[in-house]
Amino acid sequence: MQKEIALPEFIGETEQAVILVVPALDRCLSVLFKRFHEGEEIEYWFSWELIPAENGGYMVTLDIGWDGENAVSVGFNLDMWEYLPLITKRGHLVLMTDWSLIEEGISAGVDKMGRFRPRALLVRDVGRGMEDLSSKVAEEAMSNRGSTELIQLLEILQSSQKSGLLLH
């Protein structure tokens, strides 16, 4: 079974987090957003994965799940790998499904009753797990020696871990 992977339409940053706008996940996350806005505390999990891409290359995915629901997957293709060290450095990620928060600001997340109800999910400590991803990439690179793509990804991941160590 192949999972559906949504690619970000926008990647940005603040001092505290990386921002991803992924409108394709709006329907998948709408129930979760509703539960958050009703004040429910929901435990979620996330993991970083390396998967083969249709073009014969590789993609990194951030899989996020909760309450036994199907996980959603955000994909990072070769052109987006350069953001992985930034994600590790910032530590948190805000996953938005609505462009209006970027275009119009916070007022776009306010409902008719004046409550702030953004279509956004904060994933804390999202850099956790990058070491495991790095190990997976190294294993795959060892078994697939001709892949310059995997070597490039491994270098990117290792550079983010080194810079992370220098910051502490």
Query: What confidence tens digit (pLDDT) does each residue in 92-113 have?
Result: 999 999 998 888 888 888 888 8
Cα separation, 152 vs 81, whole angstroms: 9
Query: What confidence tens digit (pLDDT) does each residue in 56-70 have?
Result: 889 999 999 998 777
Counting as low any pLDDT under 70, the low residues of the chain are: 1-2, 146, 161-168
Q: In the structure encoding, which two tokens stand for residue 126, read together?
A: 């999202």
The reported pTM is 0.88
pLDDT reported for residue 146: 65
* Interstrand relation of 92-96 and 58-66 (parallel, antiparallel or unpaired): unpaired
